[in-house]
Amino acid sequence: MSCPICNRKSDPEIRPFCSARCADVDLARWLSGTYAVPSTDLDDIETALDAAAEALEHPGRPDRLS
């Protein structure tokens, strides 16, 4: 199996990655939203639009979990 980030041979201890660096790159991509699961559910779209509008109204305010 090859590393999904750089295509080098995977290290069995941190599979599917070849190194801790590639694992960290993958995690950063998930946390930044680079990877996303698309949705066509209208409720999801409305929720995303509401969150974007809230972020525009209150820039710099950390996200709130509700």
Q: What is the pLDDT of residues 8-60, one digit of tens each?
A: 999 999 999 999 999 999 999 998 888 887 777 778 788 888 888 888 887 66
Question: Which segments of 1-66 does DSSP mark as H helices, in order?
Answer: 20-32, 42-57
pLDDT value of position 22: 97
pLDDT value of position 47: 87
- Residue given tokens 């305010």 in the structure block: 61
For 2, 22, 42, 55, the CA distances from 8, given in Å and listed in that order, are 5, 10, 40, 39
pTM of the model as a whole = 0.56
pLDDT value of position 66: 47
- 18: which 2 tokens? 């070849």
